[in-house]
Amino acid sequence: MTTAPPTPPDTDAVAFVAALRHLKTWSGLSYRQLERRAAEAGHVLPYSTAATMLGRDRLPRAELVAAFVAACGVRADEAEAWLDARVTIACGRPAETVRTTPNRGLRRPRWAFALAAALATALLGGASAAGAFIDDIEVEKTRTSLHLSG
């Protein structure tokens, strides 16, 4: 370990797990050795869990990332960068960052879609309650037809 450890990407889960694989290679440790070193650092990281984590392209849980980077020999400040990158991927980038990212176009935050759906539901519910969609009641009361007689 004469070189610096790899840095974590904060782009997506696939790149993050690929960087974790690179970190394992950088450490030069086996899965069993990682399990022992994690235990020495006060973490729980079964070797099978570490192997499964690196075999998938899903974002691992934060406690697994903390245990793994500690076992690989990453310093505390660098380990914090791994956890920060994981949070950024899991929660998404702030809206300002997403909007200014090149080649991604404008994206609306998720709350905007939820607000639009709630507003549409309220408007349709109000129109329905006001009778805008209920013509049968007026036909019954007035005993008329909605169709023009010819």
Q: Looking up tokens 């889960």, which residue turns up?
A: 13
Closest CA to 61 of 23, 13, 93: 13
* Residue 141 pLDDT: 67
Locate 24 and state its tokens. 């394992």
What local confidence, expressed as pLDDT, does residue 96 receive? 47
| Residue recorded with tokens 């007026």 | 138
pLDDT, one tens digit per residue, over 32-45 is 999 999 999 999 99
Report the pLDDT value the prediction gives residue 4, as an integer from 0 to 100: 86
Overall pTM surpassing 0.75 (yes/no)? no
pLDDT in tens, 118-129: 777 777 676 566
Q: Rounded to whole angstroms, how far apart are CA atoms 61 and 53? A: 9
* Positions in the chain short of pLDDT 70: 1-2, 93-111, 113, 124, 126-150
Contacts of 126 by beta carbon, 8 Å cutoff, 6+ apart: none
- Domain 13-92 - what CATH class? mainly alpha
What's the pLDDT at 127? Answer: 59
